[in-house]
Structure 1
């Protein structure tokens, strides 16, 4: 199946979800969804997507519902077409229709995760740069080359300063060495 036919089937899946939403609205409010005003929802806090102050807003009208429906069809068709173009060997009509059904929910979930992914990727990239610089500094110190002028004693920003040069060991002053073995854990 080519990507265009898959996109058409995905748009059909999006149309099916839009039809389900209209049917649920008609059954719930006993009128067409574009005629439902926020203050007719009894009680106003029944829906989780109603924000404070939205209870008195006018009904959206049929034009707004048409725009929302067309956008849902575009999202469903586009996502299904992209998946079909990426994985053409595993695309069949049923899979294309199912992707179209869940396309809007998938895009909503992905858009909530994008800021977290960008922040994590930035931190990972920064961590990789710092680790690479530390490894280069250690390699230079082991080869006997002096560090560059910006790196006093081979220290990087955020690394431990005052580390001994190779070949000059310093005494270990950790907590374990300060304990008195006879008194059961006191500090010497």
Structure 2
């Protein structure tokens, strides 16, 4: 696989007090370190505060630029009430052309389903935005029991393999779609 660099934005989708999202996101971003062709940008919605973003503000423009400059995305999402968090939906909905013709992968966590119901709903949202979601995901059922106090997995092999597969797919799509956008710009409707 070509090792051309590309920019990956990892979006941390939970803003709840006491959230487990930083543990999952930190684990995943450590996985990307084994892929030197990835330039990482971590977008933490808790710090971004999407409900406070106003069109035209400096904070909004900075967020829009970060998303626009990304070649690919990984959304780290919990499953809340069989869906994904409202602040994540709001952040996604703030933009439109910045998502188009770019691949999106998912790292999910939750109860017994591991957040997969949230992922399936997010696939529909991103399809409407003309983004391409990759098939493979990394999922953590009953996530709190899988990690130790230092944020390391008790049994890292299966999740590490899933992360590598996800990143390989994302890399293929990121490079292919970046080339396509450069040679045949996608409609910015």
Which TM-score bucket, shorter chain as reference?
under 0.3
Structure 1 or 2: larger helix share?
1
Q: TM-score, normalised by structure 1?
A: 0.24
Larger Rg: 1
> TM-score scaled to structure 2, two decimals?
0.24
